[in-house]
Amino acid sequence: LALASAVIPQAMAAKPLVIGFSQVGAESEWRTANTASIKDSAKKEGVTLKFADAQQRQENQVKAIRSFIAQRVDLIAFSPVVESGWDTVLREAKAAKIPVILTDRSVNVSDPSLYATLIGSDFVEEGRKAGRWLLDYAKKNGDKPLNIVELQGTVGSAPAIDRKAGFEEIIKANPKLKVVRTQTGDFTRTKGKEVMEAFLKSMGKSINVLYAHNDDMAIGAIQAIEEAGLKPGKDIIIVSIDGVKGAFQAMIAGKLNVTVECSPLLGPQLMEAARKVVEGKPVDKRIVVNESVFPADVAAKELPNRKY
C-alpha cells in the first residue's frame, strides 16, 4: 500500500477537488448563512468552488448545472428551487459521470441513482414542531377557536410543501384550529409583508395566529401587523421556522412567539460527503441535520450562542 501511494504523481495528488454549486438565491437570512457556510468550508478544505446564484429560478439552475457539466467539475451540488423537473438535467450529469449531491431541498425524480445523497433538514418534522407548539398554546389559552393565516414558502419547493403538510397533520387534532387563509410569500420579507397586508385587509382582527414557513416572511408580516395598528406576538400569535438572529431579536422584542430551528450550516457536511463520493466511498442517501425549537422566553439567553 505504501508503495502504491508513493507512485501517485505529485501533481495528481495535489489537485484540488472542484465543486460546482448552484444556490437558490439570496432570498432570506437563512440563505445568506447557508452560502457563507458553503463558501467558508470550501476554503477551509482547499476545495475549488464554482458558485452560481439562481435568483430563485429553476431555469437558471438548469443552465448552471449544464455549464458545470461542460466545465467537467468533479462534483455538482445544488439546492433545488423546486422539487419537480430535474430528470433531464440530472441524467445529463449522470451520462457525463459527474456525481450530484443535493443540499437543503429534495427533488422528485423517477431514478434515485440520479443523486448520491441529500444533506438537509426534515421539513415535515419542522412543520410538526410548529404545529405542536400551537396545539400546546391553544390548550394553555382556554382552548378558544383560533383563526390561522399561513404564509407559504416558494410554490413547489420542498420546504413549502413539507412544512405545510407537517403542520396540518398535527393541528387537525384540534378542530378549533382553522387555517383561514394561505398564500405564498416566496420566503422573502417583502412578499411576506405584502401578503400579510392583504390578509389583514380581508380578515382584519379575526386573525389570531400567523404561521410563516420562514422567519423572513414573519418579520415582513410583523411590519404589516404594526402598520395596521395591531400588536404582533400579542394580538396575533406568530409561529415561524429557521431560527435566524432576526427571529431571536423579534422574540426578545415580544413580537414573535416561537421559531423552529432549521440549520443552514451545511458546508462542513457537504465537503465531507463530496470527498467521499468522489473517492467512491459509500455515503448515506439521506443526511439529516439536528435541530431544536426556541420559544420566546429563552430568546435572550440563546441569542449569544446563535451562529446565523
Residue 12 beta carbon to ligand GYE: minimum distance, rounded to whole angstroms: 37
Select the span of 23-31, 43-51, 57-65, 129-137 touching ligand GYE (CB under 6 A). 23-31
Residue 80 beta carbon to ligand GYE: minimum distance, rounded to whole angstroms: 9
Q: Tell me the number of residues near ligand GYE by CB under 6 A.
A: 13
Phi, psi angles (nearest 5°) of residue 188: -110, 160
**Which residues, 258 to 277, sit near ligand GYE by CB under 6 A?**
262
**Which among 306, 246, 278, 289 is positioned nearest to 103, based on CA atoms?**
289
Query: Angle at the Cα of 214 (from 167 to 235), degrees rounded to 5?
Result: 75
Verify binding: residue 239, ligand GYE, rule CB under 6 A: no
- Rounded CA-CA distance 163/298 in Å is 23
- Rounded CA-CA distance 183/200 in Å is 13
Residue 29 beta carbon to ligand GYE: minimum distance, rounded to whole angstroms: 7
In degrees to the nearest 10, what's the CA dihedral of 90, 93, 99, 102?
-30
Closer CB to ligand GYE, residue 157 or residue 208? 157
The correct pick among 45, 74, 83, 104 for binding ligand GYE (CB under 6 A) is: 104
Closer CB to ligand GYE, residue 74 or residue 242? 242
- Rounded CA-CA distance 219/225 in Å is 10
3-state secondary structure string across 7-29: CCCHHHHHCCCEEEEEECCCCCH
The correct pick among 21, 68, 187, 211 for binding ligand GYE (CB under 6 A) is: 187
**Which among 44, 22, 75 is positioned nearest to 280, based on CA atoms?**
75
Verify binding: residue 27, ligand GYE, rule CB under 6 A: yes
- Rounded CA-CA distance 13/23 in Å is 29
The correct pick among 21, 30, 86, 199 for binding ligand GYE (CB under 6 A) is: 30
Neighbours of 39 (CB within 10 A): 15
172: β partners: none
Residue 57 beta carbon to ligand GYE: minimum distance, rounded to whole angstroms: 14
Select the span of 26-34, 171-179, 249-257, 292-300 touching ligand GYE (CB under 6 A). 26-34
Residue 222 beta carbon to ligand GYE: minimum distance, rounded to whole angstroms: 15
Sheet of 286-288: strand order equals 48-53, 18-23, 75-78, 100-103, 117-120, 286-288
Which SS3 state, helix, strand or coil, does residue 287 take? strand
Select the span of 25-33, 133-141, 195-203, 218-226 touching ligand GYE (CB under 6 A). 25-33
Verify binding: residue 211, ligand GYE, rule CB under 6 A: no
Neighbours of 84 (CB within 10 A): 11
Verify binding: residue 159, ligand GYE, rule CB under 6 A: yes
Closer CB to ligand GYE, residue 117 or residue 208? 117
Closer CB to ligand GYE, residue 212 or residue 274? 212
Verify binding: residue 28, ligand GYE, rule CB under 6 A: yes
The correct pick among 214, 240, 257, 269 for binding ligand GYE (CB under 6 A) is: 214
Contacts with ligand GYE by CB under 6 A lie at 27-28, 30-31, 104-105, 159, 187, 214, 216, 241-242, 262
